Chain A
Amino acid sequence: GNSVTQMEGPVTLSEEAFLTINCTYTATGYPSLFWYVQYPGEGLQLLLKATKADDKGSNKGFEATYRKETTSFHLEKGSVQVSDSAVYFCALSGGVTSGSRLTFGEGTQLTVNP
Chain B
Amino acid sequence: DAGVTQSPTHLIKTRGQHVTLRCSPISGHKSVSWYQQVLGQGPQFIFQYYEKEERGRGNFPDRFSARQFPNYSSELNVNALLLGDSALYLCASSTAGTGISYEQYFGPGTRLTVT
Q: Which residues of A line the B interface, CB within 8 A? A: 4, 31-32, 36, 42-46, 49, 51, 89, 91, 93-94, 98-107
Contacts and interface: CB of A to CB of B under 8 A. Distances in A.
A46 B102 CA distance: 11
Contact of B90 (A43, A98, A101): A43
B106 A101 contact: no
Contact of B103 (A42, A46, A106): A46
Interface in B62-112: 90, 92, 94, 96-109
B104 A99 contact: no
A32 B103 CA distance: 10
Contacts of B107: 43
Given A43-B90, A44-B43, A107-B41, A100 B98 contact: yes
Contacts of A91: 42
Nearest to A90: B42
A45 B107 CA distance: 9
